Amino acid sequence: MADRAARARQEFEQGLEDDLNTAQALAAIFDLVRDVNTAIDRGEFHHEDAAPVLRALEIFNGIFAVLEDDDAEKLQTLGLAREAAASDQEIAELVAARQAARKTRDFAQADRIRGQLAERGIILEDSRDGEIRWKRK
């Protein structure tokens, strides 16, 4: 597996050196991942195989930065982020406030709260039985 990872790194770098041929570079990494998955399924992937594969993925991620979900942090650093992500407790409080507004028939306030939640990436689902479910986008 170390040889396979080294070959993937070489093909990845060759793709980038070939006029930034990202298709070739990505294919090298995707082929490596497929081969690793196949080796795992067959029980042929061992503990010592992880380091060279991880190194190839680190090199790939150093260029494309897609393996970690740190977009919000990057946007915040650049001053482009919206409000920080709401905690579960904050969401529950806003959902309760929206429910209270609906009970008093203050639909404008209920809509404002729904809008606030949507801006923070929260989708509300009202059920027929009055239960409100929410999820993050």
Provide the terminal-to-terminal Cα distance of the chain, rounded to the nearest Å.
38
Q: Indicate whether 14 and 60 sit together in one domain.
A: yes
In a domain, 77, yes or no: no
In a domain, 98, yes or no: yes
Dihedral of CA 73/76/81/85: which sign? positive
Question: Tens digit of pLDDT for each residue in 89-110?
Answer: 888 899 999 999 999 999 999 9
Q: Indicate whether 94 and 64 sit together in one domain.
A: no
In a domain, 76, yes or no: no
CA distance 89 to 95: 10
In a domain, 129, yes or no: yes
pLDDT at 25: 95
pTM, two decimal places: 0.54
pLDDT at 106: 94
pLDDT at 84: 58
| Residue range 2-16: mean pLDDT, rounded | 95
pLDDT at 79: 76
| Residue range 110-121: mean pLDDT, rounded | 89
| Residue range 64-92: mean pLDDT, rounded | 76
Helices marked H in 65-87 — which ranges? 71-77
In a domain, 82, yes or no: no
Strands 122-126 and 132-136: antiparallel
Q: Indicate whether 64 and 104 sit together in one domain.
A: no
* Residue ranges making up the domain that contains 117: 88-136
Q: Indicate whether 98 and 131 sit together in one domain.
A: yes
Number of structural domains found in the chain: 2
Q: Indicate whether 7 and 37 sit together in one domain.
A: yes
In a domain, 81, yes or no: no
